Amino acid sequence: MMHKIKVQKLTHENFHRYGTFAPLIDPLAEEAAGSKDAETVFFRDLLQQDLSGSAPSYSTCRVLPRPLIITDAEYHNHTCEAAVPLDGDAILWFAPATADNVFRADRAEAFLVPRDTVVSVRPGVWHHAAYSLNDQPLNVLIVLPERTYANDAFSLKLELDSQAEIEL
C-alpha cells in the first residue's frame, strides 16, 4: 500500500529539520534596514545558502501539472539547494537524510510553499521537483553551484512500493 503524506502549512517550527525559508515579497515580519514605512525598504539577509564556496547558478525548473505522487528522489552531499516558486504556490516535499542512500517514504513530509518564498534545503535532505497546485505549468527558480546535477546529486527512480502519495 502506498504511503500517504498530508500537505502542511510551511512554518519555521515544522520545517527547521530540513533547512530554512523566507518570504521575499512583503516580508513585513522581518527586520528591515531603516523604517518599514519609508519609500524604499531593504529587507537584508533574509536567508543564507551554503554553496561550499562555489558561485551560485540560477536555473528554472518548469513543472507541468501531474499526479501528486513521489516517483523520484534526490539529495546533494555537499551543498544546499534553494527553490523559489515564481508564478504560483507549490507543493514541495522533503525527507531527512539517510546513511544508506535509501529513500523512506514514511519519513517524507510535504509543504505548501507560497509563491515568492525562498526555501533552502540542507545537504543530504531528500527532495525532488515541485508540484503545481492548479492546471497550469509552474516555474521554480533553483539556486545551486554550477553543475551540481552532474557532480553532487544522488538520484533515484522509486519503485512502486517506495513511492508516496501527497494529499491536499
- Are 96 and 126 spatial neighbours (Cβ–Cβ below 8 Å)? yes
Spatial CA neighbour of 29 closest among 8, 50, 15, 11:
11
C-alpha cell at 161: 512500493
7-37 pLDDT, tens per residue? Answer: 999 999 999 999 999 998 877 676 677 777 7
Determine the structural domain holding residue 74 and report its residue range. Answer: 3-167
- Read off the amino acid at residue 142: I
C-alpha cell at 107: 519519513
Sign of the CA dihedral with 25 first, then 8, 89, and 16 last: positive
For the chain, the domain total comes to 1
Where residue 15 sits, what CATH number does that domain have?
Answer: 2.60.120.480
pTM of structure: 0.92
87-107 pLDDT, tens per residue? Answer: 999 999 999 999 999 999 999
- Are 41 and 32 spatial neighbours (Cβ–Cβ below 8 Å)? yes
What pLDDT shows up at residue 98? 96
